Amino acid sequence: MKIKLLWLVPPLLFLAFFLLFFKGSAPEHIFLITLDTTRADAIDYATTGNACTPNLAALAAAGRHYENAYTVIPITLPSHAAMFYSLPPHVLKLYNNGQERAIPYPSLAEIMKKNGYATGAVISLSVLKRNFGLARGFDHFLENFKPGLWYKTAAEVNRDAFALIDKMKGKKSFIWIHYSDPHEPYCPPGPQERFTVFLGGTLLHSSPSIEEQVLRLPLALKPGENSIRLHCEIPAFLRESRAFTAVSYADLKITPRDPRAPLTMSYSPDLVRRSERYGRITFNTKENESYLSIVNKGTAPCLADLGFKFMIKTTDEARRTGYANEVRYMDSQIGLLLARLKKEGIFEKSTFLVMGDHGEGLGEYNSHFGHIHYLNKIYTHVPFFISGKNIRGGEVRANPLGPDRRHAAQTHGRYQCHGRFFRSQAFLGDLLSRGLFRRLLGTPFPLAGHFLSGAPR
């Protein structure tokens, strides 16, 4: 496998080019729409007979679509950080989700705010929450997650985005909207079957069984035996297609509030231990109902917490189908967003930058589903297009973008350029060497952006 490295300029630099080289006034509204876990080949750009992504296709057709865009890293937090700070992970010292880091560089949102734009963001994954560094410069940063859930559906994103747009109405605005439906679990909202947890006859928890919940449930354990019932209704479409393979309770652990509490746990025979680490056990079962027995050997009631991650496992083919359905669902909700903007008279005053943060493996490489671990093309090749006000429509560019060595040298140190550079379109070098970014925003911005890698041949 040959690894190709190329650097793509950050979103704001693209924006600077289009605002300065196309006729017309600057847009009143700038929307950065990031499509989490969306492979480049998951988007159908056909403008007729498109049953998959007609709304994204129409938006791309009205603008400029770059066919060869690659992410800097196939992990959500550092990939988005590269977009917002225009620096690669080794400079930001940000390599994985969950890292809390104060980044000593100006962010895209801060620069937009400095130049007169009200700023707002709606995120849909908890790994992007404000404590991870991307909220800087945003006047409004909406998280709004349900208890026990680490993600939001596109409909929930739209709910928050519509409220944000209403709040910022009448102002020049820069709004980041983050959709993540193609991320696991691969199932659009809709099925009504429930997952419930009971302690004796007391209901502790109830949620749709298609949701991938991370639960921490408080328990009041009486002396003697306490029975916990885990009941999962398998969605009908999984039963009928024979796609269901198991229910998984990952990293299950009972934690007494008092470490000295004498508790023991046993479980029903259908629960098969798959792994154990740090006292947390992962169980799988093919049954829809399972039991835990917790014995409090003390003479007084005991408080404890039951923690685990719940998920329904399916066949590989069902996961691929579910991923495609999630992309369709996300596109339909983006269609509702665009319709709302048109109704409010905002659409025609707006510029849209639409890009993926990374792709997703669907079993093609080492039977792997997910991302993070590999740099093959399926994990790194992402959709990217710019559309809207001042953007010439109907263009498709196959060549990658990034400054070459000659043009990078002409910047005379005004921009931070890292890594290995390859020949690109001359206008980007001109954009850098003539300082047009500075002219637009009144300040230099460190260039590095979305670089990438990993296309097997």
pLDDT digits (tens, 9 = 90+) for 211-266: 999 999 999 999 999 999 999 999 999 999 999 999 999 999 999 999 999 999 99
User: For the purposes of burial, counting CB atoms within 10 Å of the CB of 332, is it exposed (0-12), middle (13-18) or buried (19 or more)?
Assistant: middle
pLDDT digits (tens, 9 = 90+) for 50-108: 999 999 999 999 999 988 888 888 999 999 998 888 888 888 899 999 888 888 888 88
Q: Give the β-pairing of 244-256 and 140-142.
A: unpaired
Task: Work out the mean pLDDT of the chain and round it to a whole number.
Answer: 84
Is residue 145 over pLDDT 70? yes
Whole-structure pTM value? 0.85
Strands (E), 94-213: 118-122, 140-142, 173-179, 194-199, 202-208
- Tokens matching residue 181: 């439906």
Q: Are residues 448 and 418 in contact, defined by beta-carbon separation less than 8 angstroms?
A: yes
pLDDT digits (tens, 9 = 90+) for 183-211: 999 999 999 999 999 999 999 999 999 99
Q: Are residues 83 and 355 in contact, defined by beta-carbon separation less than 8 angstroms?
A: yes
User: For the purposes of burial, counting CB atoms within 10 Å of the CB of 231, is it exposed (0-12), middle (13-18) or buried (19 or more)?
Assistant: middle
User: 457 lies in a domain?
Assistant: no
Chain-centre distance of CA 214, in angstroms? 17
380 & 310 share domain: no
Q: For position 435, what pLDDT does the model report?
A: 36
pLDDT digits (tens, 9 = 90+) for 352-369: 999 999 999 999 998 999
Q: Are residues 34 and 10 in contact, defined by beta-carbon separation less than 8 angstroms?
A: no
97 & 228 share domain: no
Average pLDDT over residues 344-358: 94
Q: Give the β-pairing of 302-314 and 214-221.
A: antiparallel
Average pLDDT over residues 312-338: 97
288 & 143 share domain: no
Q: For position 397, what pLDDT does the model report?
A: 84
User: 239 lies in a domain?
Assistant: no
Strands (E), 257-394: 263-267, 272-277, 280-285, 289-296, 302-314, 350-356, 361-362, 369-370, 381-382, 384-388
User: 308 lies in a domain?
Assistant: yes
- Tokens matching residue 174: 């820069």
344 & 402 share domain: yes
70 & 144 share domain: yes
User: 365 lies in a domain?
Assistant: yes
pLDDT digits (tens, 9 = 90+) for 286-311: 999 999 999 999 999 999 999 999 99
209 & 148 share domain: no
Q: Which of 303, 305, 304, 325 is nearest to 314 (CA)?
A: 325
Look at residues 314, 345, 373 and tell me which one is the last residue of a structural domain: 314
User: 426 lies in a domain?
Assistant: yes
User: 268 lies in a domain?
Assistant: yes
345 & 414 share domain: yes
User: 385 lies in a domain?
Assistant: yes
175 & 40 share domain: yes
In the block, tokens 């269609």 appear at 335
Core vs surface per residue 235-266: b (16+ CB within 10 A) or e: bebbeeeebbeebbbbbbbbebeeeebebeee
Write the CATH number for 345: 3.40.720.10
402 & 427 share domain: yes
Q: For position 68, what pLDDT does the model report?
A: 87
In the block, tokens 């799988």 appear at 284
Question: Total structural domains in the chain?
Answer: 2
277 & 212 share domain: yes
8 or 128, higher pLDDT: 128
Host domain of residue 267: 194-234+244-314
Q: Are residues 203 and 196 in contact, defined by beta-carbon separation less than 8 angstroms?
A: yes
Q: Which of 200, 220, 289, 213 is nearest to 252 (CA)?
A: 213
Q: Residue 185: is the preceding peptide bond cis (ω within 30°)?
A: yes
Look at residues 263, 289, 314 and tell me which one is the last residue of a structural domain: 314
Does residue 406 sit in helix, strand or coil?
Answer: helix
∠ CA 424-430-434 to the nearest 5 degrees? 150
294 & 357 share domain: no
144 & 271 share domain: no
Q: For position 454, what pLDDT does the model report?
A: 31
Look at residues 314, 330, 358 and tell me which one is the last residue of a structural domain: 314
Q: In the β-sheet with 302-314, what is the strand arrangement from edge to edge? A: 214-221, 302-314, 244-256, 280-285, 272-277
- Tokens matching residue 170: 């009448």
Write the CATH number for 267: 2.60.120
User: 1 lies in a domain?
Assistant: no
